[in-house]
Chains A and B, each alone.
Chain A
């Protein structure tokens, strides 16, 4: 056995490039899987641990007067309700620091650097603000007429994405930040706003109905609330969750699929290699080797490869998890406290290739060993066999080279599947990244620009009435969810029936009138409704059901909305006839800050998108690179298999006087058809997988995206795949050239 085992290293050495390819594939698959799983789990754990551990609010509101008996209200509502104070201190013309009083029960600050507040004159700062404006731990900051010692940096569960107003689009640490001081410090600050944060204790019951009941209790106590914002609509908290859920959703299936594909491909590869060893297996068998000895011998190579690949893959992936998680959450203020490296994932990363390769090799060896030594030693049995597909093909009308190439690909169905799956996988991987980019681009650029024709959106704290200023239009909005499904939340927006600032279009691109009830496509898809349907919706504010008759579905992906004439909406909700909650305007309006709940500047959208695209583009570039490497390995492996299995034919071609380029073309170009087919099959697969993924994202984070497969990117991906193919052919050309004529001359004589 020892002598036999020496063969293993010789086999590895003799086919070094091929085995390096296999090993690289295992390493890539295993490393990507372990890294992606690790990142995904840690992201989720980080956000959940933080928001749960530090008791993120379910909603917040202000009141016209202080709640007299908070303890009773808490008890009745089965909730923790805590009042905190907030004051915006202008540090300069363009820099505001929001001072918040430290809380104990809800939205508890997490100290991520330095120490907690311990005495008077101390402040904890949001780290992005501190970094942008030069306030390290130990420095001092002047705010609200007082000097504070910066004793540490903190994260707040309701300011994970520290927006000044909840309706803002982008954070800007150069202009705005948050600081936490003790409540006593507010004794010297006039005009601090008082805000109540609520977290319900019963996490199993509907939070919406608990919120409605709380509001009714407040009304019963003669308290009028304002700025009622539940966490689902609070971008300061939801943005991170949405983004991280998105990352999590995308980070697992793709690497997992790729890993499985790699394992499958390598399994097929090993299978074919073992079959080619039939003569040697037969000879060893004939000389008295036992089945289990041969099984052990032939299993050593695949297991060695799988184990080495798995271990190297894990070793590469594990150290990359922490920096990746840190980089991904760096956009948000979440404490990166403890990054766990999952032992189970590592085990999967190592065991999956071992299992795949082990099982497939075992099955093949077992099948081979069932044949008699004499049969095995004949060896060429398999080579001469013609499968049903080859037999059924009628290729008379094609020229010889086409016939040969088609037959060559159909020669081995497993090899064909191996190449086809590989190319499909690589195409999907490549198109995946580009499609994400196209979808986002479509929604945020084309779709937004086509739909909205205003530049500013102003949302008021209180209901307004009267006429809109020149160049502006009024709108109203109510938050609704369908009966029996609180997970889908959206705005029903009242707009001017003759609005010129909003253009919705039907599926044919014709504009829809604004004097009817229109629903945007993503929402219609989620609710499963079409034009002409009536839908029962619950208003989040009063918990009452309302019926809406949908006139048309708008082919607009901007957001999930129902648009209807403002008069009808006001009448339906029992609001004054000429009241409104916000303004759309083509120019900047002079509205006092304290009246506004938020301002949205649509011109900020491109820079927000740039910010987002920067990371997306690098992700796409990385995915394309990985896809190219995987593609190169797969195509190289298949082509060298084809060469290996055709050595005799290549040799014959040379004897018959085929020129070098003719032989190369017949052998190396035979995969072109499969590669093109694989790429074409990949396109609908990407569309289908995006449909599924976007559907999931829609459910999870209220974001519905259209699957946009841009023809330009399809061409780019195709070019990348074809270039990879050409490169792999170049690598294999030498192998074809080195096949000598003597191989065919000696055929059958050995």
Chain B
């Protein structure tokens, strides 16, 4: 198993209130697969993804990614893990506004041990001609393409996407989903995606439905649909 999560628990404490966000989550994803986590707001999707991505830590349970026990890594090792193995795509792109598109990609390639060629990655997301532009000069969809390019330039083992189409219109969303599917196919990158949109589950190999911090339903999709055929 590429991702193996078992009995993962996480709670947040503020003053006297304890908020149990993850209540013993278990999930598995094979290498090269696309996994989709579906669930309403507050169901614990982002927390689960943050723990898998090494941005946060669980209170208990097991999180193993490609044979590495993420939950037991030291802070420094966790940094190395994010640096080398994980790519992030955010709902609101999170590009650095005062860096050009090319430079935004360099933010990540700059620290990677064996990054892909920036131009090739930009060409792959069809953004090479915008390399010298600034984020503000691009549409939302274009910015998300850059965000994907930035995430894959390090050639990560795992690509984590937090609502990648949440801020985009229908057509743009479909093109982004198509791009993610291409990345998965072209680079063999394992992708774990969070979304509210149940229709997106059609392009995933595995689907996990979260409700109130628990996996309500986990299913394997036998007929993965090409992204361009998804409709909602």
Contact = CB atoms under 8 A, between A and B. Distances in A.
A391 B137 CA distance: 11
B68 to A, nearest CB: 14
B108 interface: yes
Interface string B95-128: 0111100110011101100000000000000000
A656 B162 contact: no
B178 interface: no
Nearest to B102: A396
Given A384-B97, A745-B90, A747-B92, A659 B79 contact: yes
Given A384-B97, A745-B46, A401 B110 contact: yes
A121 B5 CA distance: 109
A404 interface: yes
Interface string B128-171: 00000011110000000000000000000000001000010000
B80 interface: yes
Given A400-B107, A404-B103, A745-B90, A652 B82 contact: no
B82 A655 contact: yes
A385 interface: yes
Contacts, number: 87
Contacts of A658: 79, 83, 111
A656 B150 CA distance: 10
A654 B94 CA distance: 13
B94 A648 contact: yes
A143 B225 CA distance: 120
Contacts of A657: 79-84, 86, 111
A745 B79 CA distance: 16
Contacts of A455: none
Nearest to B163: A749
Given A385-B136, A407-B99, A652 B94 contact: yes
Q: Which of A395, A400, A657, A658 has the most CB of B within 10 A?
A: A657
A42 B90 CA distance: 66
Q: Which of A385, A401, A652, A654 has the most CB of B within 10 A?
A: A652
A384 B136 contact: yes
B88 interface: yes
A400 to B, nearest CB: 4
B41 to A, nearest CB: 10
B111 A749 contact: no
Interface string A397-426: 001110110011011000000000000000
Given A385-B136, A386-B134, A744-B90, A655 B106 contact: no
Contacts of A745: 46, 50, 55, 90, 162
Nearest to B49: A745
Nearest to A382: B97
A662 B94 CA distance: 19
Contacts of B53: 655
B91 interface: yes
A290 interface: no
Nearest to A400: B110
A556 B98 CA distance: 55
A749 B41 CA distance: 12
Contacts of B167: 748
B111 A655 contact: no
B148 to A, nearest CB: 14
Given A657-B80, A659-B79, A741 B96 contact: no
Contacts of B134: 386, 390-391
A2 to B, nearest CB: 26
A649 B95 CA distance: 8
Contacts of A749: 91-92
Contacts of B76: 659
B110 A748 contact: no
Nearest to B104: A652
A745 B49 CA distance: 11
B85 to A, nearest CB: 9
A186 interface: no
B98 A748 contact: no
B98 A407 contact: yes
A648 B229 CA distance: 36
A400 B83 contact: no
Interface in B168-222: none
A401 B106 CA distance: 10
A403 B132 CA distance: 13
Nearest to A662: B111
Contacts of A396: 102
B42 to A, nearest CB: 12
A237 B167 CA distance: 82
Given A656-B83, A745-B162, A749-B92, A408 B107 contact: no
Contacts of A383: 97
B60 to A, nearest CB: 21
A649 B136 contact: no
B94 to A, nearest CB: 5
B84 to A, nearest CB: 7
B99 A403 contact: yes
B98 A656 contact: no
Contact of B96 (A385, A652, A742, A748): A652
A386 B90 CA distance: 22
A548 to B, nearest CB: 65
A748 B91 contact: yes
Nearest to B81: A657
Contact of B88 (A385, A400, A655): A655
Interface string A730-750: 000000000001101101110
A653 interface: yes
Contacts of A654: 79
Q: Which of B83, B96, B97, B102 has the most CB of A within 10 A?
A: B97
A742 B12 CA distance: 14
A530 B186 CA distance: 81
Contacts of B50: 742, 745
A268 B97 CA distance: 22
Nearest to A387: B98
Q: Which of A399, A404, A410 has the most CB of B within 10 A?
A: A404
Nearest to A646: B96
B103 A403 contact: yes
A408 B90 contact: no
A403 B106 contact: yes
A644 B197 CA distance: 35
Contact of A655 (B55, B99, B135, B136): B55
A407 B56 CA distance: 30
B172 to A, nearest CB: 16
A400 B106 CA distance: 7
Contacts of B91: 748-749
Nearest to B136: A384
Nearest to A660: B79
A410 B76 CA distance: 32
Contacts of B110: 399-401
Contact of A656 (B46, B82, B136): B82
Contacts of B55: 655, 741-742, 745
B159 to A, nearest CB: 13
A402 to B, nearest CB: 11
Given A400-B107, A745-B46, A748-B91, A649 B80 contact: no
Contacts of B79: 654, 657-659
Nearest to A653: B107
Contacts of B103: 395, 400, 403-404, 407
B27 to A, nearest CB: 20
Contacts of B92: 747-749
B94 A386 contact: no
20 contacts: A384-B97, A384-B135, A386-B136, A395-B103, A400-B103, A400-B110, A403-B99, A404-B99, A410-B98, A649-B96, A654-B79, A655-B82, A656-B82, A656-B83, A656-B107, A657-B84, A659-B79, A742-B55, A744-B90, A748-B90
Interface of B: 46, 50, 53, 55-56, 76, 79-84, 86, 88, 90-92, 94, 96-99, 102-103, 106-108, 110-111, 134-137, 162, 167
Given A407-B103, A741-B55, A748-B167, 6 more contacts: A400-B106, A404-B99, A652-B94, A653-B107, A657-B111, A747-B90
